[in-house]
Every structure is written in structure tokens, then in C-alpha cells.
């Protein structure tokens, strides 16, 4: 029973072929294809409005040099949002519960922001490792601390997304198992537990959206420091 709780986080296979790539490509099927009624379609209009609002929220703190990242950050947030939400459906697999995938997204993008700062303003980027006005005896220790905090940023991005989604999926499975186990012996308690499960599902929908936004927002803040 304990092992079965974690079976949902195993990458599905079909005839020895991993289906995680199919899970990543599936959300793109939900995006409406361009046609003659693309602008007048209500779904497309709502989608464009959400993308416009998200892009504005992400790009407002950044200067014009960083606006070239708008397509990358908006596309990343759209992909994470749809993957997280689709993973809440029954009998589905959530790729963002895999730390390897989240690190594969976080590390290259974090490294790109870091290299951008080192190329455009190397002195300012290196100066972030030593706060202004630091006493001389504390300089070596602070440089080590700031360097460590800089290097663990991609790990923090990946672990945060993985831990929040994994914890939510485990809670939903545990409570749903309790609902089915209590239904024959204590129906009223089972109904109350089902109400809690419904409220938790609503909370997890919010968490799925918030975590996608936080992941991209932190990347934009890292970009702001280096541009």
C-alpha cells in the first residue's frame, strides 16, 4: 500500500518506450489552431488576453533589453501551467513532479541569465557577490555565502516546483483512499472527508497555477539582476 502511493510519480512506459515526451506534448493539443475565426473565437480571445496580462506582469519590472525574453518566459509559463493542471486529472501523469525535468528547465535558463549578466555588465554581476560596505574580515566568508546562494538558485527552483506538486498529489491520493475506505463503515465521516477532498482539489488547482507563475517570476527576477 505504501509503495502504491508513489506509483503515480513513475514515468509511464508502453512496450519499453517512455511516454513522458507524449505527456509534454499533450498540452499543445489544447491550444486552438489559427484559422479564419482566430480573432473572433472566444476561446482564442480569452487565451490572448491571459497571455497579454501575464506578459505585462512579467515584463513590467524589466527594462527594454530584457523584453526579448518575453516569448521564452511566457511560453514556459504556459507549458508549466497546462502540465500542472492536466496532472490533476485522474489517470494522468504529471511530468513536473520529476526533479530531473524541473532541473532540466531551471538550470539552462538560470545559466542563460547569469551568462547574460557576465557578458553585458561583468563588474556589476560579480559585484553582487560582495555587498557594499562589508567589513574587511567578513569579505571571504560573505563571498563564499553569496556564491553558494547563487549556485543553489536552480536547485531551489526545481525542488520548489517538485516538492509542492508532489505533496499535493500525495495528499489528494491519501484523502481519496480514506474516503473509499470509510464509505462502507462510516458513511457520514466519508462524506465529510470527501468535502475536504473537494476543497483540497480546489487548493491544488490554485497551487498548480501559482507554482507555474512563481517559477517564471523568479527567473525574471534573476534576469532583472543581470540586465
Q: What is the pTM of this model?
A: 0.82
pLDDT tens, residue by residue, 197-219: 999 999 999 999 999 999 999 99
In which band, very low, low, confident or very high, does the pLDDT at 150 lie, cut at 50, 70 and 90? Answer: confident
The span from the CA of 114 to the CA of 53, in Å, is 27
Q: Measure Cα distances from 130 to 119, 121, 124, 207, 220 in Å.
A: 19, 15, 10, 35, 22
Task: Say what percent of the chain tops pLDDT 90.
Answer: 23
Residue 32, pLDDT > 70, answer: no
In which band, very low, low, confident or very high, does the pLDDT at 1 lie, cut at 50, 70 and 90? Answer: very low
pLDDT computed for residue 37 by the predictor: 63
Q: Which residue has the cell 518566459?
A: 73
pLDDT tens, residue by residue, 116-127: 888 888 777 777
Look at 205 and 136; give whichever has higher pLDDT.
205
Q: Once rounded to an integer, what is the mean pLDDT over residues 80-105?
A: 86
CB 88 within 8 A of CB 208: yes
pLDDT tens, residue by residue, 48-72: 788 888 888 888 878 787 788 888 8
Residue 2, pLDDT > 60, answer: no
**Domain assignments of the chain as residue spans, ordered by start:** 7-226
Amino acid at each position: 500500500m505504501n509503495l502504491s502511493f508513489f506509483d503515480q510519480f513513475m514515468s509511464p512506459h508502453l512496450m519499453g518506450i517512455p511516454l513522458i515526451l507524449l505527456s509534454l506534448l499533450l498540452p499543445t493539443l489544447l491550444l486552438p489552431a489559427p484559422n479564419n475565426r482566430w480573432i473572433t473565437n472566444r476561446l482564442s480571445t480569452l487565451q490572448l488576453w491571459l497571455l497579454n496580462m501575464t506578459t505585462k506582469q512579467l515584463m513590467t519590472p524589466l527594462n527594454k533589453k530584457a523584453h526579448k525574453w518575453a516569448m521564452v518566459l511566457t511560453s514556459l509559463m504556459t507549458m508549466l501551467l497546462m502540465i500542472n493542471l492536466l496532472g490533476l486529472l485522474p489517470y494522468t501523469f504529471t511530468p513536473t513532479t520529476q526533479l530531473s525535468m524541473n532541473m532540466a528547465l531551471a538550470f539552462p535558463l538560470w545559466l542563460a541569465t547569469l551568462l547574460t549578466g557576465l557578458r553585458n555588465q561583468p563588474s556589476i554581476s560579480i559585484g553582487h557577490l560582495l555587498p557594499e560596505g562589508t567589513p574587511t574580515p567578513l569579505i571571504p566568508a560573505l563571498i563564499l555565502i553569496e556564491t553558494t546562494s547563487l549556485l543553489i538558485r536552480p536547485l531551489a527552483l526545481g525542488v520548489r516546483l517538485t516538492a509542492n506538486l508532489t505533496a499535493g498529489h500525495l495528499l489528494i491520493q491519501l484523502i481519496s483512499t480514506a474516503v473509499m475506505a470509510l464509505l462502507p463503515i462510516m458513511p457520514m465521516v466519508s462524506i465529510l472527508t470527501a468535502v475536504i477532498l473537494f476543497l483540497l482539489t480546489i487548493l491544488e488547482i490554485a497551487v498548480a497555477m501559482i507554482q507555474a507563475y512563481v517559477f517564471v517570476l523568479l527567473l525574471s527576477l534573476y534576469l532583472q539582476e543581470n540586465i
